[in-house]
A = this chain, B = another copy of it.
Amino acid sequence: MPDLFAVPPIAPVSALNSRQRFAACLAGQPVDRPALWMMRQAGRFLPEYRAVRQQHTFLEMVHTPELALEVTLQPLRRFGMDAAILFSDILTIPEALGMNVDFPEGGPQLSPVIRTAADVARLPSGDCVEKLDYVGQALKLIRAELPHNYVLGFSGAPFTLASYMVEGKGTRTFEGIKTLMYQHPQVFHALMDKLTDSVIAYLKMQLDAGADAVQLFDSWAGELRAEEYVEHVLPSTQRIIQAVHAHGGKLLLFARHTGHLLDASLRSGANGLGLDSRIDLASAAAKAKAVGMAVQGNLDPIELFAPPAHIHARVREMAAATKGCGWIANLGHGVIPSTPIAGVEALVSAVHGLATNSQGGSLHS
């Protein structure tokens, strides 16, 4: 892991732009105030997003760089978020690997499902990046529009992608992927290895296109016991993170329902850990700091429905819990479509309110 906490500040903290602020938070350096973005900030809770969505299918928006640019910029225009995250989907890799991916009501559908050694062997090996050129194009547009904001790319992590590819859809039981792991571990690992290669190539391409860092979404990793995660998933995560670092990039790791995986995640080498709302922020931030990691999170997205005073109090609580640690303010999961704009405005105002008035000092770090 890079010794991020040893690097001196890149600018006087009183003069940080959003890009510098985010980088400093991720590196555990002093800042004027914490950087802020929200998972799924480019999405259905915004009227301006829904206006675009009315004219285009979800997949058209993902596949068309100019449309992806537009909705990526929307939350920054409205709320002044410090980071932009590429508008895309975690299922771009299965699609680039030749699966049919569709998004009817009720969640994604993938076909034909992957179940056997032959199914895995048929997948094109590793590098599917040429088919994902539209993502690189979108990131180049975003980078050009936002020289002073932090730009995040992202990918689904191999276990999460494998879950979708084996189940063919979202699942509450994970019967298919776990059964494959228990009954045919060599097939499971062949699939994980191919996906790890693809994710690495994809993330390198995103960094080349201008992303400052990438977030790895291992949405379903929390379904595994810690021993299973360490044996079957963590090695691929570590391999991805090493490759991103070797390519000069930084990586944020996020998964839901992962309090039981915190200790394992601290061994991943990630620059920052996205925390689920249920994880105790103070103890996680202290543990992360001890291994040179920042934390990101972890307001419950439903707390954006609470009165503004509640949101302000929780933001102050989170700031106190992460005092002296690298912290990027965010939610503990994606913002949901029915979220009131006023709740997000309260979050923004609360985080901005953490700024100190003194010269170059910082309430937070």
Query: B-contacting residues of A (Cβ < 8 Å)?
Result: 173-175, 178-179, 182-183, 222-226, 257, 259-260, 277-280, 300-303, 305-307, 310, 336, 338
Contact = CB atoms under 8 A, between A and B. Distances in A.
Given A178-B300, A300-B225, A336-B175, A280 B306 contact: no
B183 A305 contact: yes
A306 B182 contact: yes
A222 B279 CA distance: 11
27 contacts: A173-B301, A173-B302, A173-B336, A174-B302, A175-B302, A175-B305, A175-B338, A178-B300, A179-B302, A179-B306, A182-B303, A182-B305, A182-B306, A182-B307, A182-B310, A183-B305, A183-B306, A183-B307, A222-B278, A223-B278, A224-B278, A225-B278, A226-B278, A257-B278, A259-B259, A260-B278, A260-B279
Given A179-B305, A182-B307, 7 more contacts: A173-B302, A175-B336, A175-B338, A179-B302, A182-B310, A225-B277, A226-B278
B178 A302 contact: yes
A257 B278 CA distance: 10
Contacts of A183: 305-307
Contacts of A222: 278
Contacts of A336: 173, 175
Contacts of A278: 222-226, 257, 260
A224 B174 CA distance: 23
A203 B305 CA distance: 35
Contacts of A179: 302, 305-306
